[in-house]
Structure 1
Amino acid sequence: MSAAVRIERKDAVMTLVIDRESRRNALNADVAAGICAGLDAAEADRAVRAVVLTGAGDKAFCAGGDLQPNAQGTPFTIDAADPRHYVAGLIRRMDACRLPLVARVNGHALAGGFGLVSCCDLVVAREDARLGVTEVRVGLFPMMILPPLLRTVPARVLMEMCLTGEPITAKEALADRIVNYAVPADALDAKTDWLVSRIVDKSPTGIRLGKQALAKVRDMSADSALEYAQFMLANMARTKDAREGFAAFAEKRAPQWTAE
């Protein structure tokens, strides 16, 4: 595990903490490797039902790529001959995560940090946290994170963010459903715990297969998506979790999920 990302475990929830508070939890190769390794560890543990991604301290979730002159592993040093950029690999890994991924936005999430937020399934944020893409201020554009941004930010809002470089608060972002919840700082942990508690008691198999289906259907035509959905539904109905869910419903009891 990378020293830049700390793992915390509580019951069925694994929390990945970007641990570079002195650098405002800036994104670099070590952070990307640490998040990927954390997701691997979470998926390898059958008892883990959800992953929370957050930053150390209370100033920044992730301030984006490290712009300091002595930065290590900055995202902006790209070998044009090598297409395997670590940011692209991180986005692919987060997209492929089979567990629910919740962003606990403890502070500002800018540029690549906002990209990480956009890669998560659900978002609970401090209402005063600033979200945005500031790359145009330094002569860049948020190239690497455009795919997740396009999925989560309304087109006109995203265009204004990209062209002006001006962030918005999480409270403002709530109106466009860019975040699920925006709460005062002292309510962040309670709201995150509340949201995660509504996930971890549901069928892990249903969630895992459902996330896979959502990712595939998103890129399909309507006809192909309907054909794929029939196949997935028939296969999901054969799982042990589905059979247990039906039985528990008929017997009016809480289901006992096996993740199978």
Structure 2
Amino acid sequence: MNEATGPILYTIDGAIAVITLNRPEKRNALDDELVAGLNAALRRADADEAVRAVIITGAGKDFCAGADLRQLERIAERSILENLRDAETLMELFLNIRRVRIPVIAAVRGRALAGGCGLATACDIVLAAESARFGYPEVKIGFVPAMVMAILRRNVSEKRAFELIARGEELSAAEAERIGLINRVFPDESFASEVERYASTFADRSRSAVVLTKRLLYQMDGMSFEAALRSGADTNAIARMTEDCRQGIARFLSRTQR
């Protein structure tokens, strides 16, 4: 199934939902319509119990080049409250990625820059083609990558995060993987098939276990050690009561008792 909703393509491939940013002529730059469409597509995928993972990718040569030029032009014309509302729209997108119960995977070809880099690294997993490029160049135009800083700070070390946002230089996919900004790098020529193969592994995993795992991992942000352990104990008890866990234990015991 393949549906176009403005600048967003929504495809279901088995148990995987694929959301494609569909503004290739604008390098998939973020504007109000694209962000709204992406939010709607994420909510749709989250509501579909048959979906086990979501892939976000970009049409054309690039993943996402950040804010649309028209959006940038309007910044100086808007009041502080109008700019705040605009910023909160993007904030809601980053929050939605965390709220989606299943894994959200960024599949990055070409450039992921500024807000586009933030979008990629806001995802639970980032897969990149070897020629992909990442960066936060906002400082070069006197801007601050303010919201994506909350994401970046949770992905790499403090010193590396400061270097990335204060210098605004681009990184290769290999370097991004080395510092922990992304998960995997695949060859350009086999990237699509490698992403499909990677995402398909979630179709074979317990959906309830993955959902509980994602929720717990992000709940632990800012918790004390004891509070994190308590939250883990609560999730442990919930997982034991799921049908997936009961069936999994039964299968394991039947194999060991043969």
Question: Please, what TM-score do these two structures have when normalized by structure 2?
Answer: 0.90
SS in structure 2 at match of 1:16: strand
Are 1:154 and 2:157 an aligned pair? Answer: yes
Aligned AA (1:64) = G
Identity of aligned residues (%): 34
What do residues 201-260 of structure 1 show as CA deviations (whole Å, max 9, x unaligned)? 10000011111111111221111111111111111110111111111212239xxxxxxx
SS in structure 2 at match of 1:125: strand
1:7/1:15 contact within 8 Å kept: yes
Are 1:208 and 2:211 an aligned pair? Answer: yes
Structure-2 separation of matches of 1:245 and 1:74:
55
Aligned counterpart in structure 2 of residue 66 of structure 1, from 52, 60, 68: 68
Structure-2 separation of matches of 1:76 and 1:230:
47
Structure 1 residue aligned with 2:80 = 80
The 3 A distance-change label for structure 1 pair 86 and 2 is farther
Structure-1 separation of matches of 2:5 and 2:171:
31
Structure-2 separation of matches of 1:42 and 1:147:
25
1:51/1:102 contact within 8 Å kept: yes
Structure 2 residue aligned with 1:120 = 123
Structure-2 separation of matches of 1:24 and 1:210:
34
Structure-2 separation of matches of 1:227 and 1:94:
25
SS in structure 2 at match of 1:47: coil
Structure 1: 4+ residue segments shifted above 4 A: 72-79
2:15/2:200 contact within 8 Å kept: no
Aligned counterpart in structure 1 of residue 21 of structure 2, from 18, 37, 45: 18
Aligned counterpart in structure 1 of residue 39 of structure 2, from 27, 36, 40: 36
The 3 A distance-change label for structure 1 pair 34 and 184 is same
SS in structure 1 at match of 2:81: coil
The 3 A distance-change label for structure 1 pair 64 and 46 is same
Structure 2 residue aligned with 1:169 = 172
Structure-2 separation of matches of 1:97 and 1:116:
14
Are 1:131 and 2:146 an aligned pair? Answer: no
**Runs of 5+ consecutive residues of structure 2 not aligned to the other structure:** none
Structure-2 separation of matches of 1:106 and 1:76:
28
Q: Which of the two has greater helix per residue? A: 2
Matched residue count: 249
Aligned-pair CA distance for 1:39: 1.3
Question: Please, what TM-score do these two structures have when normalized by structure 1?
Answer: 0.90
